[in-house]
Amino acid sequence: MKAALIGLGSVGRGVLEILANKNLGITITGIADSKSGCIDNAGIDPEVVLKEKQRTGLCGDRRIDAAAVIRNADYEVLIEVTPTNALTGEPALGYIRAALARKKHIVTSNKGPIALAYRDLAGLAQKKEVALRYEATVGGAIPIMHTLQDGLCGNRIVAVHGVLNGTCNYILTRMAAEGLTYEQALLEAREMGYAEADPTYDVKGIDAAIKLVILANTVWDNGVTLADIDITGIDLLTPDALRLAEEGDSTIRLIAEAIPDKKIFRVSPRMIEKSHPLVVEGSLNALTLETDMAKEITLIGKGAGSIETASAIIGDILYIRDHYGKRA
Amino acid sequence: MKAALIGLGSVGRGVLEILANKNLGITITGIADSKSGCIDNAGIDPEVVLKEKQRTGLCGDRRIDAAAVIRNADYEVLIEVTPTNALTGEPALGYIRAALARKKHIVTSNKGPIALAYRDLAGLAQKKEVALRYEATVGGAIPIMHTLQDGLCGNRIVAVHGVLNGTCNYILTRMAAEGLTYEQALLEAREMGYAEADPTYDVKGIDAAIKLVILANTVWDNGVTLADIDITGIDLLTPDALRLAEEGDSTIRLIAEAIPDKKIFRVSPRMIEKSHPLVVEGSLNALTLETDMAKEITLIGKGAGSIETASAIIGDILYIRDHYGKRA
């Protein structure tokens, strides 16, 4: 299966590393980062590009950009893994639209386009008879979308409850375990590489809310947007609140939850019994799906990481190969 | 999609209840329990059969048996949900072979045939170009097989570690929480309906071992049999052992694990940190898949129950409808 790769950050490099090490039958015919690009319809060696990128910061020719790769390369799947822009979804949104116009399958880790334009993109993909897959946008390596689409097929999903932001979960775990203040735990999270220099999107609950928007649209196709989510972050939480929770065999987690029957769409720190499967430690993510037949199903795993997120991308590509092969 | 249903115990009745309440596009054309059967290629009303079964203990005519339904009804999928016979796999094994010979897809909750004859049945299904699906055999409602086959596609599964027997998990949870002896906890489990009158298969670890055989064959197609599993049950465990574990923020769970690289295939009570995702409470089941790219993925949910197990059956049927439709 031929694929074009747009974006060579942590996830894009993870995809190339996997393809360099595993024979999965996926051939890369075009690559672009923000400054350069390359096209070779006979196949590009992932290892050569990774070395070139590390040495020069480029993946090819400065005169070739993402738009040119999307327009000119010979591929069946566009792998779109550029950084998320939560306000406009660009430039990823334009890339995805351009590839859909060419009847190419889409696999993306980019939350922006899916959270902002799910209906539009899903409709376009359906019209063009191609797949739009975005397993990597929520819960990193955890196969959440696969579980919703196939694993729990036939079930009505009544509610979703998730620990969807590893940064917040790390901070809350450390506050509870060591009695740290929010500021101390955030500093530690930064030193450990679990928090970015500007952690606003994470600690204010916005990242989790964007993921909840993606989940809600996937499950219920209800057109929920970021504006519909009640959001409270963890940045005002005190060690006292955590201590109080822990005294009752509970703890506090930043829970993203959608319960359409009760019109609840919210992200907020909530008290939860320690024995509940959603209570995971450190930077792990977890999602509980409340269903009518299977009852509560919880999925736990790494919500971030280069290879972990690339694993979800690879899973989506292979799903397309196995289940859309004849339509491509 | 037309289906024939063999077996009207808890799971079979769960399937009919779901079909009576949900319009899933599945029509039942033949049903057999151990004493009777019915065939109607125009479609059988699930509600009528459920009432008849409750009233008379029969589902139809005493002159129609499972073999007749399998041979004569017009269906695409055989739903085989008779009780497990772990020694011979019969009569289920014969039913499945007969339906495969007719080029019918198989969906089963029956551990016997899959644990005893996986390669044989999988090879036969492949030859006949039909599906052999058995999501319900391991972990009840948890979509484990879906996750292995699609969700983590591309990953190498390095190991599986599971809490696969709800009876044992309930007993261990209660021993730890209340300091009960094994005998006291077993008695309670029986009263709560979590343990059978003869709990040997559960508490001796055999049920978990059979599920491990199914998992190992599914993941690695390695021909592992029950004789290859080192099995230790929970029936000799003392409250002291649990107390000791709990003092160190750990607990004891009956863990089924397969690590082929280390030639480990065993079921045994093991000490495990309470914060590990596998540590679930009560009768829940859990499975951690250790993989090369996604790292550790844990799935948690109900391992038993009429509707919960039927949910896995329904998921398999709909998977066949969605992904094998054109081959049927």
Q: Domain spans of chain A?
A: 2-141+307-324, 150-303
- What letter represents residue B15's amino acid? V
Residue B104 in marked binding region: no
Residue A70 banded pLDDT, cuts 50, 70, 90: very high
Residue A248 banded pLDDT, cuts 50, 70, 90: confident
- What letter represents residue B110's amino acid? N
Q: Does residue A326 have a pLDDT over 90? A: no
Detail the DSSP E strand segments found in chain A.
2-6, 27-32, 37-39, 77-80, 105-108, 132-133, 157-163, 230-231, 250-259, 264-273, 284-291, 296-302
| CA A75 and chain centroid, separation | 23
- What letter represents residue A71's amino acid? R
Strand partners of residue B231: B267
Per-residue model confidence as pLDDT tens for chain B (328 residues): 999 999 999 999 999 999 999 999 999 999 999 999 999 999 999 999 999 999 999 999 999 999 999 999 999 999 999 999 999 999 999 999 999 999 999 999 999 999 999 999 999 999 999 999 999 999 999 999 999 999 999 999 999 999 999 999 999 999 999 999 999 999 999 999 999 889 999 999 999 999 999 999 999 999 999 999 999 999 999 999 999 999 988 999 999 999 999 999 999 999 999 999 999 999 999 999 999 999 999 999 999 999 999 999 999 999 999 998 654 3
Beta carbons of A293 and B308 less than 8 Å apart: yes
Beta carbons of A277 and B299 less than 8 Å apart: no
Q: Does residue A54 have a pLDDT over 60? A: yes
Question: Does residue B257 sit at the A interface (CB-CB below 8 Å)?
Answer: no
What span, in angstroms and rounded, lies between the C-alpha atoms of B135 and B315?
8
Beta carbons of A296 and B314 less than 8 Å apart: no
Q: Do B2-141+307-324 and B150-303 agree at the fold level?
A: no
- What letter represents residue B44's amino acid? I
User: What CATH number labels A2-141+307-324?
Assistant: 3.40.50.720
Question: Does residue A325 sit at the B interface (CB-CB below 8 Å)?
Answer: no
In chain A, residues 266-285 whose CB comes closer than 8 Å to chain B: 275, 277, 280-281, 284
Question: Does residue A293 sit at the B interface (CB-CB below 8 Å)?
Answer: yes
Question: Does residue A301 sit at the B interface (CB-CB below 8 Å)?
Answer: yes
pLDDT tens figures, A266-294: 999 999 999 999 999 999 999 999 999 99
pLDDT tens figures, B32-70: 999 999 999 999 999 999 999 999 999 999 999 999 999
Beta carbons of B302 and A294 less than 8 Å apart: yes
CB A12 within 8 A of CB A81: yes
In chain A, residues 142-161 whose CB comes closer than 8 Å to chain B: 142-143, 146-147, 150-155
- What letter represents residue B64's amino acid? I
Question: Does residue A1 sit at the B interface (CB-CB below 8 Å)?
Answer: no
List, in order, residues 6 or more apart from B204 with CB less than 8 Å away: B231, B233, B235
What span, in angstroms and rounded, lies between the C-alpha atoms of B287 and B42?
41
Cβ neighbours of B297 in A, within 8 Å? 141-143, 299-301
Q: What is the pLDDT of residue B325?
A: 62
Q: What is the pLDDT of residue B113?
A: 98
Average pLDDT of span A137-164: 97
Q: What is the pLDDT of residue A325?
A: 62
CB atoms within 10 A of CB A20: 13
Shortest CA distance from A294: residue in chain B: B308
What span, in angstroms and rounded, lies between the C-alpha atoms of B122 and B140?
21
The superfamily (CATH) of domain A150-303 is: Dihydrodipicolinate Reductase; domain 2 (3.30.360.10)
What span, in angstroms and rounded, lies between the C-alpha atoms of B216 and B154?
17
Q: Does residue A327 have a pLDDT over 70? A: no
Cα dihedral A110/A113/A119/A121 (nearest 10):
-90
Residue B196 in marked binding region: yes
pLDDT tens figures, B171-201: 999 999 999 999 999 999 999 999 988 999 9
Residue B9 in marked binding region: yes
What is the least distance, in Å, from the CA of A262 to any CA of chain B? 22
Q: What is the pLDDT of residue B326?
A: 52
Of A147, A291, A296, the CB nearest to B147: A147
- Both tokens of A113, joined, read 């386009």
Residue B284 in marked binding region: no
Beta carbons of A302 and B319 less than 8 Å apart: no
CA-to-CA separations, B149 to A108, A133, A150, B273, in angstroms, rounded: 21, 17, 11, 29
Q: Supply angle C-alpha B319, B323, B326, rounded to 5.
A: 130
Whether A51 is catalytic: no
Binding-site residue numbers of A are 7-12, 111, 196
Of B153, B298, B308, the CB nearest to A318: B153
List the single best residue of B1, B135, B272, B293 to mutate versus A (max A Cβ within 10 A).
Answer: B293
Residue B223 in marked binding region: no
Q: What is the pLDDT of residue B327?
A: 42
Strand partners of residue B286: B163, B300
CB atoms within 10 A of CB A225: 14
Q: What is the pLDDT of residue A324?
A: 85
Average pLDDT of span A261-267: 98
Q: What is the pLDDT of residue A197?
A: 87
What span, in angstroms and rounded, lies between the C-alpha atoms of B208 and B202?
7
Beta carbons of B151 and A146 less than 8 Å apart: yes
Detail the DSSP E strand segments found in A152-247.
157-163, 230-231
